[in-house]
Amino acid sequence: MQKTDHVIDLAGYKKEDLTVCLGCKICASVCTVNDLSISTSPQELLQTLFLGKDISADNPLVRYCTGCYRCTQACPWDIRIPEIVRALRDVLATGSPFEKAFKGSLDIWGRVYEPYVLLKAVPFLIKEGYLKHMNRWIEYMGIHLPHKVKKINPSNNSNGQKGGTL
Ligand code: SF4
Ligand code: SF4
C-alpha cells in the first residue's frame, strides 16, 4: 500500500494542490511516452493518486517517463507531473541506477560528480551489456585524447593581414 500523501508531499505538493486539475488530458496529448506508441496518461496517474489508489511499478509513466516536462509546459496549471513520477519511483524503489547515482552524488557533494556517477552505474552497465558503447560515451562526455594541433603560420593569413601568435 503506497502512502499517497507521502508521494504527493515528496513531489512538493499538497493533495489540495492537485484538485485544480481540469481533466482536460492536454498532458496526455503531448506526453513523450505516447510518442513511443506506449499508451499512457499523466492525468490518469494524477487521478489514481488523488483517489488514494495504488500505482504499480509497471505503470508506463513510472517505467518510461523521460522527465521532459512537455506535460507541464502544456498544462494550464503547470502541474509538475515528472516530479510526481520521481516521487513515485522513490517510494516504489524503481529509480534507475543513474537516478540513484545522481541523487547519491547530490547528497555527498551537492552537485553531480561524473566519475562517481559512472562508478556507481558500472555494475548495471556491465550486466546489461552497455560497455560496448563506451567509446561513444567518452565522445559525448567531451573527453578527447590529446592530439597534435597544426600551427597556422600567421604570414599565410588569407586576409593578407598579419596574424597574432598562436
Ligand atoms: S515529463 Fe513524463 S509525463 Fe510529462 S510529457 Fe514528458 S514523458 Fe510524459
Ligand atoms: S493538462 Fe494539467 S489540468 Fe489538464 S489533465 Fe493534465 S494535469 Fe490536469
Q: What is the pLDDT of residues 134-147, one digit of tens each?
A: 777 777 766 665 55
Residues 6 or more apart whose CB falls under 8 angstroms from that of 75 comprise 26, 27, 81
Q: Is this prediction's pTM over 0.85?
A: no
* Nearest atom within ligand 1 for CA of residue 74: 5
**Dihedrals phi, psi of 151, to nearest 5 degrees:** -80, 135
Residue 146's pLDDT is 59
- What band does 31 get if pLDDT is binned at 50, 70 and 90? very high
Following DSSP, what letter does each residue of 24-37 receive, concatenated? Answer: --HHHHH-HHHHTT
Nearest CA to ligand 1 atom 4: 71
Pocket test for ligand 1, best of 30, 47, 70 (most atoms within 8 A of CB): 70
Q: What is the pLDDT of residues 97-119, one digit of tens each?
A: 888 888 888 888 888 888 888 88
By residue count, the chain amounts to 166
Ligand 2: lining residues by beta carbon, under 6 Å: 21-27, 42-43, 46, 75-77, 79
